[in-house]
Amino acid sequence: MFIPIIRGRSNKKAHAEMEPPPLHEQTIPCTFFQRSLLESKKLWKIAAPAIFTAICQYSLGAITQTFVGHVGTLELAAVAIGNSVISGLAFGIMLGMGSALETLCGQAFGAGEIKMMGIYMQRSWIILICTAIVLIPIYVFSPPILILLGQTREISDLAGKYSLYIIPQLFAYALNFPIQKFLQSQRKVMVMAMVAAVVLAIHVALSWLLILKVGWGLAGAAAVIDFSWWLIVLGQMGYIIGTKSDGAWTDFSLLAFQELFAFVKLSLASALMLCLEFWYLMILIVLTGYLKNPLIAVDAISICMNLNGWEVMIAIGFNAAISVRVSNELGAGNPQTAKFAVLVVSITSVAIGLVCMAIILITRNEFPYLFTNSDDVAKEVTKLSGLLGFTMLLNGLQPVLSGVAIGAGWQALVAYINLGCYYVVGLPLGLLLGFKFDFGVQGIWGGLTGGIVLQTIILVVVTSCTNWDKEATQAENRVKKWGGSAGLGNSSGEPC
């Protein structure tokens, strides 16, 4: 049975004309199964294109490295280090800074303050461009930084040369992440997916042409990666300017320079929250290199992290989906709907994590040979399969809870939780088990996993104890404070 629920309407005409229908006026089913099915459809409509977009963008660097591998081993090492360490560091910071927009644009969209979304995006551009300028010295002085991290001078010097070539990519990040959060908050994820697919196809063709056919090598690899990221930016901006994004884009405005300090505070909290997560498992590979016999251990952990990385692409999609759902519903004054969305996405993502864990455990003696011909490496991967499977299970729930935090605006709180769980508990525990008690890579990974478990438990408790009506009120106040009138509807989100 379906009962129509009529909530307060926003007075924003542009918002009223957008598809899908306004959040304030929906027909919602009464049974738990019907509600779950409807919510699941909404989540997958956002998550599926977001997963595809993440995979396409993740593949840009991987494809570049694949073509460079045919040039030489030194060039491959330089590009791999440049992409994973130097560019990876900047990627984490810029993505984190841009994630503040998920909170603000999502809640503004839900509240019907459509025109403010373009202003928020421009504010984020200003902050991220300034951040990119601050990060330039890391690219310029990357050789001594890499040597300090244990790389050879030969690899460090060539990686430093490559890092100089990819500085334009840094500024593409500064524009891209706010654009994507802007589109994502409006649930225009199919636009992002189509742009990503077209750019990926062009990237493959240009990589073959410039790196191998023309013979530009390292310079060609950098030129292609720069061009592809800027093509993503231009493609998305072309759509936004051409369509006005249903009223969310109203051209450039001096309002973008207002309330910058408060915007910076939320951006820094978002960056700290995500960077602490982003770098945590990267530490695992670095620490593994300091074991007594690191070669086999590093190869094995690299295989495990590669598999884990692909599953993380699914988690990123659900992170985006729940962030959008929570921010939209809180902005619309529907706290109970936001709460129910958290429940549904948690059940869905944990189910996917269980399936991934089961596949790893069932094939633990076979799947390592897909990546290596070495029996020693394969045996080590098999030993690590239990931890890999458990990490994949955690990947089902933990990113979802981080997405809830972004949608609700809890970035500062979660940053403190991450700092304590990861670096006060997990990292020391990993060092103790791995080196003091001589459990090797299993001990290091086990300790770091302990930090993730603690963080997940705390976030589950925080989410379960949340007063969602209060969160909706705070969302209304946030929209009003930063430029909107927040014409919200009834805060009763109970569908039946």
Regarding whether 100 and 220 lie in a shared domain, the answer is yes
Rounded Cα gap, residues 429 and 423, in angstroms:
9
Domain total in the chain:
2
Of 270, 289, 320, the one marking the end of a domain is 270
What is the pLDDT, as a whole number, of residue 408? Answer: 82
Rounded Cα gap, residues 479 and 108, in angstroms:
6
Which amino acid is located at 9 in the chain? R
Regarding whether 285 and 237 lie in a shared domain, the answer is no
Rounded Cα gap, residues 493 and 52, in angstroms:
31
**Placement of tokens 């060609």 in the chain:** 220
Three-class SS of residue 27?
strand
Rounded Cα gap, residues 2 and 496, in angstroms:
9
Regarding whether 477 and 417 lie in a shared domain, the answer is yes
Is 149 among the domain residues?
A: yes
Regarding whether 283 and 403 lie in a shared domain, the answer is yes
Regarding whether 118 and 250 lie in a shared domain, the answer is yes
Contact 177, 94 (CB under 8 A): yes
> How buried is 477 (Cβ within 10 angstroms: 0-12 exposed, 13-18 middle, 19+ buried)?
exposed
405-457 pLDDT, tens per residue?
A: 887 888 888 888 989 999 999 999 999 999 989 898 899 999 989 998 999 99
What is the pLDDT, as a whole number, of residue 491? Answer: 34
Contact 492, 356 (CB under 8 A): no
- Nearest alpha-carbon partner for 217 in 145, 158, 167, 143: 158
Contact 308, 468 (CB under 8 A): no
What is the pLDDT, as a whole number, of residue 208? Answer: 95
Regarding whether 298 and 238 lie in a shared domain, the answer is no
Rounded Cα gap, residues 4 and 277, in angstroms:
42
Per the structure block, which two tokens stand in for 350? 């944990």
Radius of gyration of the chain (CA): 23
Regarding whether 392 and 289 lie in a shared domain, the answer is yes
Rounded Cα gap, residues 287 and 434, in angstroms:
9
The H helix count followed by the E strand count for the chain is 20, 2
What is the pLDDT, as a whole number, of residue 29? Answer: 56
Which amino acid is located at 239 in the chain? Y
Is 117 among the domain residues?
A: yes
Of 270, 301, 318, the one marking the end of a domain is 270
CB count in 10 Å sphere of residue 13 = 10
Regarding whether 387 and 258 lie in a shared domain, the answer is no
Regarding whether 345 and 248 lie in a shared domain, the answer is no
Is 4 among the domain residues?
A: no
pTM above 0.85, yes or no: no
- pLDDT tens, N- to C-terminus, the chain (496 residues): 333 333 333 434 334 434 444 444 445 556 888 888 999 998 899 889 988 998 898 889 888 888 888 888 788 878 878 887 888 888 888 888 888 788 888 888 888 888 889 988 999 999 999 999 999 999 999 999 888 877 788 888 999 999 999 999 999 999 999 999 999 888 899 999 999 999 999 999 999 999 989 989 899 999 999 999 999 999 999 999 999 888 888 888 887 888 778 778 878 887 888 788 777 777 776 787 778 777 788 778 778 877 887 788 888 888 888 888 998 888 888 999 989 999 998 999 899 999 999 999 999 999 898 877 888 888 989 999 999 999 999 888 888 888 888 878 888 888 889 899 999 999 999 999 999 898 988 999 999 899 989 999 999 999 988 888 888 888 788 777 665 544 333 333 333 3
Would you put residue 429 in left (φ > 0), alpha (ψ -120 to 50) or beta?
alpha
What is the pLDDT, as a whole number, of residue 18? Answer: 42
Regarding whether 286 and 245 lie in a shared domain, the answer is no
Regarding whether 424 and 337 lie in a shared domain, the answer is yes
43-81 pLDDT, tens per residue?
A: 899 889 988 998 898 889 888 888 888 888 788 878 878
Domain span at 211: 51-270
Which amino acid is located at 140 in the chain? V
Per the structure block, which two tokens stand in for 318? 């659900």
Regarding whether 229 and 305 lie in a shared domain, the answer is no
Rounded Cα gap, residues 333 and 473, in angstroms:
8
Catalogue the E-assigned strands of 107-224. Answer: none
What is the pLDDT, as a whole number, of residue 300? Answer: 82
Contact 148, 65 (CB under 8 A): no
